[in-house]
Amino acid sequence: MLNTLLHINESNGLQVVVAEFSEIKNSLLQTFYSTQEQQEFEVLSSEKRQAERAATLFLLHDFFGIKNALHHHSGGAPYLAESNVNISISHTQKIVAIALHPTQKVGVDVENTQRNFGCVAARFLSDKEKEFCTTQTLQCLAWCAKETIFKIANEQGVDFASQIILEKFEEKNEGEILAHFFGKEKNKSCNLRYHLIGNRALTYCIS
């Protein structure tokens, strides 16, 4: 089922949960699927995506008590029906991460630190970032941080290398990353939090 790896409950209302999942039987999910959720689940193109969706729905229901509410905008961003609570979701290799905040936009990303980012580093790191993102884990954290900012920005066609810039940070079990987003209409800066959980990197922040 689900094994909770990390639960963050901050005083500002932010909640983040990271869980590892195994196979979740459809018979269990049918007890809290809405008709729309069932339809979205059935058209997913692969068993991997079906498993990720099932784990997400199960975690929302089992941990947060949220049932029959998860939908997606046309661009793919998730939202909770009939609720003002903001949600962000990420998956990697049988891991699901969910972040919720009652009033502010939220972003979360999780990734396996063993993934080789070296071959794509030139496409998402600035020249300055390449100078300090010298290990596989640092590159992974940088990727997660930029994905997190991208989710909050909700802007299409973002160039990760030039429009999302990270200040230098160190490789620790947990810490902060200061990120700057240069959008088409507005700029913003965010302090992201990060955690290393075994061979997984997690980043999250609110706008």
The pLDDT assigned to 27 comes to 53
Q: Which two tokens stand for residue 137?
A: 């884990």
Q: What is the mean pLDDT of residues 77-100?
A: 93
Q: What is the mean pLDDT of residues 134-151?
A: 97
- Other beta carbons within 10 Å of 79: 13
Q: Is the pLDDT of residue 11 over 60?
A: yes
The pLDDT assigned to 44 comes to 60
Q: Average pLDDT of the chain?
A: 89
The pLDDT assigned to 68 comes to 72
Candidate ranges 45-49, 122-126, 175-179, 186-190; pick with highest mean pLDDT: 175-179
- Other beta carbons within 10 Å of 118: 9
- CA of 188: how far to CAs of 4, 156, 173, 182, in Å? 32, 16, 26, 7
Q: Is the pLDDT of residue 32 over 60?
A: no
168 or 70, higher pLDDT: 168
Q: What is the mean pLDDT of residues 101-110?
A: 97
Q: Where in the chain is the domain with CATH 3.90.470.20?
A: 2-103
Class of CATH domain 2-103 = alpha beta
The pLDDT assigned to 207 comes to 86
Whether the CB-CB separation of 136 and 102 falls below 8 Å is answered with no
pTM as predicted = 0.90
The pLDDT assigned to 40 comes to 64
Q: What is the mean pLDDT of residues 66-94?
A: 89
The pLDDT assigned to 43 comes to 64
Instruction: Indicate the angle between helix axes 47-64 and 35-42, nearest 10 degrees.
Output: 150
Percent of the chain with pLDDT over 70: 88
